[in-house]
Every structure is written in C-alpha cells, then in structure tokens.
Chain A
Amino acid sequence: MIVATLALLLALPPLIWAAAMFDRIGTGRGAIVMGPIRNGAALMLRPNTETEAPDRLNRLLAPGWYLALALVGLSVVPLAPGIVATDLSTGLVLWGACEALTVVVVFLHGWSPNAPLPLIGAYRYVAIGLPAMLLSMFVLIGAALPAESLSVVEVVEAQRGLWNVVRQPLGLPLFMALGLAITLRGPFDYADGAELAGGTSAEESGPALALWQFARASMLVAFSAMAAAAFLGGHLGPVLPGPVWLLLKTLAVMAATVAAGRFFARMPPARMLTFLWVVLLPLSFVSLALVGVEVLE
C-alpha cells in the first residue's frame, strides 16, 4: 500500500511533464521538452493577484482540492498484481465520487474571484460536467459487469482473457468524453475556454495559475490511468513487467485525449447539453445493454 502510494507520487511529476509536452507538440513554438518547465518556473516567480472582495479561502484551496482529487482517483488504479494504494472493494464508486467533486471544485474556482468571466465559466461547467459524469458511470458499470465487482483490481483481472476495449468498443470513446470534461479540454472545456478569456482562471496569475495547470495535468494522468485500467487491461501484458505496461497504456490514452481535445470543436453550451442527453447518454445505454448481452452468452 505504502509502496504503491510512493510509486504514484514519484511517477506523477514526470507524467505531468509528459502531459505538458503533449500539449506543446504541434503548436510550432519549439522547446517541447524544456518549455513547460521554464514557463512554470516563470509563473512561480510572478505574484498572485487579489480581486475585489474575493472568497480568499476557497480561491487558495481550489487548486489543492483539484490536485487531491486527481491523486485519490489515481490511488485506486492497481500498478501490478497485488500492488494498489487504495484497495477498496468499491473503487469504481470512489472514482465516480472524485468526478462529482471535480465539478464542485471547478465551480468553486470560478466562483471565488468574484469576477464575471470566471463566474460564467463556473456555471457553464456545472451544466456540462454533471451529465458528462452520468456517461462515465454507465460505461464504468459496463466494465464492472464481467468482473462481477466494483473493485478496480478485479476489473483488471477480469481482462486477462480479452481487454474490455475489444469486448465493449463503445466504452472507451464515451469515457474519453468524460476525460475531456474533467481535465477541462477541447470540446468539453466550458470552464476555461477562449470565449471567456480563460474562464475560471481568467483572474488567476502566478503560482495560483501554475498550480491550477499542474492539477489539470495530473487529472489527465489520473483519468488516463483509470481508462487504461478499465478498458486496456491495466498492468496486464506479455514480456514487460506490469507497471511498465500500465505506464505505456497511460501515455497512449493521454496522447489520444490530447489529440481528441484538439480535433473536436466546442459547441455552444446549450447545444452540447442537448447532445449529451439525447445522443451520448442513450449511446451509453446501448453500450451497457450490449455488454450485458455479451456477458450472459
């Protein structure tokens, strides 16, 4: 347990660095490896800005909560057989709770500066974040069906024969929609989008902004590790040791998520809300029904 936690804490910073590098690829400004570190260092040396009558406590804590949720979500993912930081029999539910709390934290981040653009971003995010969460619940329950358990360890073990991504082809793409939403990315970035000049982080500067980006990247890592465990067989794989497989799969999901965020355009929020409830949610029902039939055969 302690070994797994230490391994996660050690692996997280390099993975966050990797996430920042993925974000830089294709922007045409070079310095892919060192750029994120340098920019982060420069931000750390800038001052935090105060706003008029902000909610200081929540403003100070929001990035920390976001980072904490990423870490808790990451802690239910098994690194190798028998090595997991949080061996909870309801790990999938704990992951769901982290998703729900992410919506709360992003809302607080936009609420606390007492400024119009962050406030609008916060409210829009709640509208999209809540139904996006339903999606992930259905596809994760689909992953739990063959495992007959809500424990992520069991979900991975149940994929020894065949990975869930093959058995449930709709699962991973739908789960990725949630990944984009909780990491504030591309088509689901209703909190920090360009049409709000940075939205919930429009009023943040210096270390507060750097930490928010750090937490956002760690949430990407947590989401990718979870997707790898639920759909790509986690640490399972031939020849290489388990943790290496998990690392490779996590990196692959990270890259795919970043690419998806760049490829799909962001709709106005009302349109996205209808799309979520009327197209994506029924699709997740279909996915679950297909899994149900497949498991019983």
Chain B
Amino acid sequence: MTLLSALARRAEIPVFAVIGTRGLGLAESLRRRPGLRLVDSPRHARVLLVAGAVDGAQKQALERLHAQLPAPRGTVWWQAEPLFARGEVVTGDDPMPAIRAAASADDPDQRPDVPPHPWQGIGPHGHGGRGMMGGNPYGRPMAMTADDIRDGLALDAYSARFGPFLPMLPPGLALDLTLQGDVIVSADVASAPFEQGPQGDAPDLCAARMLRLMGIGPIAARARGALLALPQGSGMRRRLAAWLRGEQVSETPDPLPAALPGLEWAEAVLWLASFPPSRLRAACMERHAA
C-alpha cells in the first residue's frame, strides 16, 4: 500500500474538463501539459476543471457531472464564476497549482442522494418493478417500443438528454435525442453551444478536435488518409481538408433537428465536429429565436 501511494503521488492528475464560454482554447492549451491528463469520462478523473464561464441554467447539469467523479474529488473554476461553494478559483492563466490543490480535496455530492424514482420496497419483489416491463425497477422505467425511421422494426427507443458537457459534442450543446440502436431517430436542441470567440474557430484547433474523434493526431493526418475515412457527400471531407490546409471554414449547418435524424452516432458526432463552434452556435440560436 505504501509503495502504491508513493508511486501514485507522482502520477499525472486525471482531469475532466467542462468547457464553458471561451473555455475551448483554455482547455486545449492543457492537452500537452506534463503533470496532468485530460480524460474523456468523469469516471476516470480526480479533478473537475471548469474552464470558462458556465451559465447558471446549467448548474444542475454541472452538479450531476460533479457527482459522477468517484470520491474523493476536487473542483477547479478557471476563469469561471463558481456555481457552487466548493473548489479552487483561478483567474489567471495557469491553473496547475489549483489543480494540484484540488487533487487532495474531497468535495461532497452537490445533489441529494435520492434515486431518479423511488423504488425500494415498492412492488411484488420490492425492487420497484411490476409484471414483465412495468414499474420503475431500481429507479427507472424500461424503454418501450416505437417506430423506426429506417428498417421498420419497432424496437425500443432510448430517449435521453446528451450534453451539455459531453466531450465529443461541441461544448455547451445539449441535445434531446431518441436513439434506436446507435441511429438517431429524433433530435431537439435543448441548449446551444457556448460562445467561443474567434480562437474557437481556429483551423488547427478545429482539425485537432475532429481528428481526435477519429483516433489520430494532426501529424498522422498530414498523409491525408484521414479524409478517406470520412463518409462522402456530407461536406465533412471538404471542411476537414480546409482546416488541414489552415483555412477558416464558414459554412453554417442545417438546423440540427432536421439534419441529425437518420445519422449513426459516429457520423453525427463527426458531422457536428466538422463545423466551427461559432457557426454551429448561430444555427442553433436562429432556431431558438424563431
């Protein structure tokens, strides 16, 4: 145990970054920093880093995310107004000391410890379920069948809110999706991506984000094989090629509720990543205003 602790003391701190307004550039600047490692899931993280201001409307989402880090956990607010009274606040350019301090903190849950629906002691078996498919077994109902848009098999539809802090989606974008398998059947925008300023549209940053979803780094992309991996006809190849050449992309996507249904998860995620954050935000805001 002491040997493990001695080794662990000098380990990289796994950090899950929640990206707020103008936080994309901040978070990307940490990617190659020694001493910490940005991870994709809060389950893998020790410290929750909020980079850039997060809207008060997203407070609950942030608290839920915070609770998903395994205890003990710490929080750092970097150029962000704290939404709950925990963690270190950093206003300057270097969050490292604060992250180190947070790595020995132990925040309690910010959400009440109740299941999504009451279930203990309910129903004939005391687990909340009724019959074959009914009730709320262990706190949630089961998915029910619905028509599909592709092959006509009416299997279960899974409805959930994805985001606003899902690392593969543009930061701030929250989607109410219904999935059948991994195909999106219906989509609605719950909140638009955050404002990222001009540096959010920088070609190298956008290209790096997209390439990361394809599992390679920018150096490997120089060989242009990455373009062939993308599906044809959706403009993704064109936009990634422009970014790799160092050019800005100024295409605006179609409204998401019309464009996303029918796409597979991987295609949808790549398609969203192939637009600059500012244009995506514009497309989502337009619809909110309408």
- Chain A: residues with CB nearer than 8 A to chain B? 27-31, 34-35, 37-39, 41-42, 44-49, 52-53, 116, 120, 123-124, 186-187, 189, 193-198, 201-206, 209, 261-271
Question: Given the known A-B contacts A189-B215, A194-B215, A202-B41, are A268 and B231 also in contact in the complex, defined by CB atoms under 8 Å?
Answer: yes
Q: Which residues of A contact B140 (CB under 8 A)?
A: 52-53
With A and B bound together, what is the CA distance between A34 and B217 in angstroms?
Answer: 23
Q: Does B43 contact A (CB under 8 A)?
A: yes
Seed contacts A38-B12, A46-B70; 7 additional CB < 8 Å A-B pairs: A35-B12, A195-B265, A197-B41, A198-B43, A264-B216, A265-B215, A271-B229
Please, what's the 1-or-0 string for B136-170, where 1 marks a CB less than 8 Å from any CB in chain A?
Answer: 01111000000000000000001010000011100
Contact in complex: B41, A203 (CB < 8 Å): yes
Contact in complex: A31, B34 (CB < 8 Å): yes
Contact in complex: A37, B7 (CB < 8 Å): yes
Count residues of B near A (Cβ-Cβ below 8 Å): 57
Contact in complex: A271, B220 (CB < 8 Å): no
Q: What's the least CB distance linking A292 to chain B, in Å?
A: 31
Which of B49-57, B76-84, B91-99, B206-214 lies at the interface with chain A?
B206-214
B137 to chain A: closest residue by CB: A53
Contact in complex: A52, B139 (CB < 8 Å): yes
Q: What's the least CB distance linking A246 to chain B, in Å?
A: 30
Contact in complex: B182, A45 (CB < 8 Å): no
Question: Given the known A-B contacts A31-B34, A49-B43, A203-B41, are A187 and B215 also in contact in the complex, defined by CB atoms under 8 Å?
Answer: yes
Question: Given the known A-B contacts A116-B158, A193-B215, A198-B40, are A268 and B70 also in contact in the complex, defined by CB atoms under 8 Å?
Answer: no
With A and B bound together, what is the CA distance between A49 and B71 in angstroms?
Answer: 9
With A and B bound together, what is the CA distance between A163 and B71 in angstroms?
Answer: 53
- Chain B: residues with CB nearer than 8 A to chain A? 3-5, 7-8, 10-12, 14, 32-34, 37, 39-41, 43-44, 46, 68, 70-71, 115-116, 137-140, 158, 160, 166-168, 179, 181-182, 211-217, 220-221, 223, 225-226, 229-231, 264-267, 269-270
Contact in complex: B40, A197 (CB < 8 Å): yes
Q: What's the least CB distance linking A121 to chain B, in Å?
A: 9
Contact in complex: B213, A195 (CB < 8 Å): yes
Question: Given the known A-B contacts A196-B265, A197-B40, A266-B214, are A47 and B70 also in contact in the complex, defined by CB atoms under 8 Å?
Answer: yes
With A and B bound together, what is the CA distance between A35 and B46 in angstroms?
Answer: 17
Contact in complex: B168, A195 (CB < 8 Å): yes
With A and B bound together, what is the CA distance between A261 and B229 in angstroms?
Answer: 14
Q: What's the least CB distance linking B1 to chain A, in Å?
A: 8
Cβ-neighbour of B211 out of A186, A193, A202, A265 (below 8 A)? A265
Q: What's the least CB distance linking B275 to chain A, in Å?
A: 16
A272 to chain B: closest residue by CB: B229
Contact in complex: A204, B43 (CB < 8 Å): yes
Contact in complex: A41, B7 (CB < 8 Å): yes
Q: Which residues of B contact A263 (CB under 8 A)?
A: 216, 220, 223, 225
With A and B bound together, what is the CA distance between A29 and B33 in angstroms?
Answer: 7
With A and B bound together, what is the CA distance between A123 and B266 in angstroms?
Answer: 13
Q: What's the least CB distance linking A248 to chain B, in Å?
A: 26
Q: Which residues of A contact B229 (CB under 8 A)?
A: 187, 264-267, 271
With A and B bound together, what is the CA distance between A27 and B216 in angstroms?
Answer: 11
With A and B bound together, what is the CA distance between A189 and B216 in angstroms?
Answer: 11
Q: What's the least CB distance linking B261 to chain A, in Å?
A: 16
Contact in complex: A38, B11 (CB < 8 Å): yes
Contact in complex: B215, A266 (CB < 8 Å): yes
Question: Given the known A-B contacts A41-B11, A120-B182, are A265 and B41 also in contact in the complex, defined by CB atoms under 8 Å?
Answer: no
Cβ-neighbour of A265 out of B68, B179, B225 (below 8 A)? B225
Q: What's the least CB distance linking B25 to chain A, in Å?
A: 18
Q: Which residues of B contact A267 (CB under 8 A)?
A: 229-231
With A and B bound together, what is the CA distance between A140 and B116 in angstroms?
Answer: 51
A48 to chain B: closest residue by CB: B70
Q: Which residues of B contact A124 (CB under 8 A)?
A: 182, 266
Contact in complex: A265, B269 (CB < 8 Å): no
5 shortest A-B CB distances, which residue pairs? A42-B11, A41-B7, A53-B138, A38-B11, A42-B8
B3 to chain A: closest residue by CB: A41
With A and B bound together, what is the CA distance between A177 and B12 in angstroms?
Answer: 31
Q: Which residues of B contact A205 (CB under 8 A)?
A: 43-44, 70
Q: Which residues of B contact A269 (CB under 8 A)?
A: 182, 264, 266
Q: Which residues of A contact B217 (CB under 8 A)?
A: 262
